[in-house]
């Protein structure tokens, strides 16, 4: 088993993204985001609760489709 630090993993990922010309922008991020079409009601409720907790603590909620 090979051990790798998170820093080394991040560097490896960044090199590979550069090699294929991947750009981290809003359009590419949105394209990869889960659309939520097949989410169960329980998962939708969980995401709603997470969003409410983030707002209550003054944090910006993560984008999710629920």
pTM across the whole model? 0.48
Token pair for residue 17?
A: 């993204």
Residue percentage of the chain with pLDDT more than 70:
97
CA atoms of 64 and 5, how far apart (whole Å): 29
What does the pLDDT average to over 8-30? 91
Question: Over 90: is that where the pLDDT of 20 sits?
Answer: yes
The per-residue pLDDT for 66 is 62
Cβ atoms of 34 and 65 closer than 8 Å: yes
């Amino acid at each position: 088993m090979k051990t790798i630090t998170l820093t080394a993993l991040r560097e490896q990922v960044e090199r590979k993204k550069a090699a294929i010309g991947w750009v981290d922008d809003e359009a590419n991020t949105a394209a990869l985001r889960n659309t939520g079409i097949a989410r169960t009601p329980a998962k939708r409720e969980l995401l709603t609760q997470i969003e409410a907790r983030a707002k209550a603590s003054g944090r910006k909620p993560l984008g999710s489709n629920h």
